[in-house]
Amino acid sequence: MSTTSPTPSPALSTRKKVTTRTFRQKKQRGELITMLTAYDYMTAQVVDQAGIDCILVGDSLGMVVLGYANTLPVTMEDMLHHCKAVARGAHMPLLIGDMPFMSYQVSVEEAVRNAGRFLQEAGMEAVKLEGGRERADAVRQIVAAGIPVMGHIGLTPQSVSQLGGFVPQGKTAAAAKRLVEDALILQDAGCFSIVLESVPAQLAELISKQLEVPTIGIGAGIGCDGQVLVIHDLLGLFDRFVPKFAKQYRKLHDAFVEALEEFKTEVEAQAFPAVEHSIFMDEAEWQALLAALKESGVHVEGTDPEGQSRISRI
């Protein structure tokens, strides 16, 4: 068996692996950060090939992959399973695992242990968790264990019951001030980056300018240091609803349905599989088979021009 390593494609060979240090350098240079979700091997490959800086294996998989009404039912085992697939498919982006509901809220010790599993078992390079000042102790201890942490404030989907639904945050002066404070607290606790979700654009820009670490916006306007979208929203694959802040660059759900309907029609009309989709035996071997079957007492019904036949036992 050959031991020669495969030659990387020219596009991949000229790219550098994205790290948490890359994030900080990009902010310092004024370069924007791109981040998308992925939940499986194939999607991770495509995101990597597109040159995206970061992949978040988000707990949003609960809704767009597993069909839950929200992210709350997602478990550690769900997350680790999908993270492993993504880690096999993507190599250049920074890989971040989303810590699911109740994997870090019970105790700091449990938070550290579960964060470690993302790196040790699932091939992730960082974790993300939701919440502001109330998560500062967990962030400090996870970072102290050598695990990079991305924060997440504003609309935090795991707190959707407490927030009263998927509603924008920080729209009053008092609420906005608290988010500014939370961002600074998370930075001081050691977060290398912070997601700002569904907050006013002016507030997101203000926070971004206050922080030394980069912000990643989703529904937070253009003033953040980077942007993230759920890939199913970007591609128009999830038709249950479309968030106001999501841009559908394609509407692949409709294309999927059309392709499947076309497949159904062609199968029922015997238009698929056609000759070019079929495999045939060498004619001499085929005739030898027919002769052998005849000697064995198997009756072979009439064959078509391509050598296909229906065989029945006498």
CA 53-55-56 angle, 5° bins: 135
58: number of CA atoms within 13 Å, CB side?
25
Residue 197: left if φ>0, alpha if ψ -120 to 50, beta else—which one?
beta
- Neighbour-count burial for 178-200, b at 16+ CB within 10 Å, e otherwise: bbbebbbbbbebbbbbbbbbbbb
Peptide bond into 273 cis (omega under 30): yes
Locate all alpha helices (DSSP H) within the chain, ordered by sequence.
Answer: 10-13, 20-29, 41-49, 61-64, 76-89, 108-120, 136-144, 160-163, 173-189, 201-210, 231-234, 252-268, 283-295
Of 31, 125, 130, 197, the active-site residue reads: 197
Contact partners, residue 290, CB within 8 Å, separation at least 6: 300
149, β-bridge pairs = 127
Do residues 149 and 121 make contact, with C-beta atoms less than 8 angstroms apart? no
Running DSSP on this structure, what letter comes out for residue 27? H
Q: How far apart are CA 254 and CA 243, in angstroms?
A: 18
Nearest to 215 by CA among 129, 151, 125, 130: 151
SS3 of residue 17 by DSSP: coil
Q: Annotated catalytic, 283?
A: no
136: number of Cβ within 10 Å: 18
Q: Which H or E run includes 122?
A: none
Active site members: 197
